[in-house]
Structure 1
Amino acid sequence: MKKTLLIVDDDLGILKLLNFILEKDYEVVVKNNGIDAFKWLDEGNMPEVIIADLQMPYFDGQSFVKNVKISGFYRDIPVMLLSAAHDLPEQISKMPIKIDAYMQKPFKPNDLKTAINQLL
């Protein structure tokens, strides 16, 4: 049985790309914002890994991850942040919550798969 990945990003192109790269190996669920992602989680769904964009409208990646990590239900789900921000490592280091992994956009598909496997 395939492990489930929840991917949260407001960029449709990135969602399609990630789905294409990962769908052979994983059950991929895509949501285009943190609000929809939380609705999906609140319906009782439990992915093995969450991959979220750092910069999203409405409910940015940092707020989304913070809510995941303070939740009693979801805090143990590994989270990877993706971002095109040039200062991503610095932003991650300043966050008040622990980020399990992060990757800079653009990324190499094999590097992404390796990072996901390490989180699993």
Structure 2
Amino acid sequence: MVKRQILVVDDEVSILKLLNFVLSSQYDLVIKTSGVEALTWLEEGNSPALILSDLEMPYFDGSSFIHNLKISGFYRDTPVIILSGAKNLEERVSQMPFKLDDYMPKPFNPTQLKEAISNVFIKYDSAGR
């Protein structure tokens, strides 16, 4: 069985290690530590099944990264889940000019994250994407 690929974008090493531990048995993870790295990887023609991104990263934050994805023709339908320790996360998400599939505050519950990912894939599979 081929694992679905998830692009993980976060600058916190501890979060990346935790995500790798929790998700790598079920998914093929591609780890990038900035929005710039992630965008470069995507521009090389890669197309993940899902993107997990932090909002607060240096240089090119998660909001800018996701905005660039959503205005592109290639990735606007790629599901996105935000994992962030940002203050007022719910308010920030509600003010974004694009749709997110889900979001979770850090620290997150690994079981809830797995459920959120599964629910996103179920939704997209049933929509024929």
Query: Which residue of 1 is the match for residue 116 of structure 2?
Result: 115
Query: Which residue of 2 is the match for residue 25 of structure 1?
Result: 26
| Cα distance in structure 2, aligned partners of 1:38 and 1:65 | 9
Q: RMSD across aligned C-alpha pairs, in angstroms?
A: 0.7
Query: Which residue of 2 is the match for residue 81 of structure 1?
Result: 82
Query: Which residue of 2 is the match for residue 12 of structure 1?
Result: 13
| Cα distance in structure 1, aligned partners of 2:49 and 2:116 | 13
Structure 1 position 96, deviation (Å)? 1.2
Amino acid at match of 2:91: E
Task: Count how many residue pairs are aligned between Structure 1 and Structure 2.
Answer: 120
Q: 1:21-74, CA deviations, whole angstroms, 9 ceiling, x for partnerless residues?
A: 100000000000000001111111110000000100111011011011111011
The percentage of aligned residue pairs carrying the same residue is: 55
Q: What secondary structure sits across from 2:70 in the alignment? A: helix
Q: What secondary structure sits across from 1:67 in the alignment? A: helix
1:43 and 2:55 are equivalent in the alignment: no
TM-score normalised over the length of structure 2: 0.90
TM-score normalised over the length of structure 1: 0.97
| Cα distance in structure 2, aligned partners of 1:18 and 1:95 | 25
| Cα distance in structure 1, aligned partners of 2:43 and 2:119 | 26
| Cα distance in structure 2, aligned partners of 1:86 and 1:40 | 29
Q: What secondary structure sits across from 1:92 in the alignment? A: helix
Runs of 4+ in structure 1 deviating by more than 4 angstroms, as ranges, are none
Which stretches in structure 2 are left out of the alignment for 5+ residues? 122-129
Q: 1:72-111, CA deviations, whole angstroms, 9 ceiling, x for partnerless residues?
A: 0111100011111231101101111111110111111110
Query: Which residue of 1 is the match for residue 101 of structure 2?
Result: 100
| Cα distance in structure 2, aligned partners of 1:108 and 1:77 | 23
| Cα distance in structure 1, aligned partners of 2:87 and 2:111 | 21
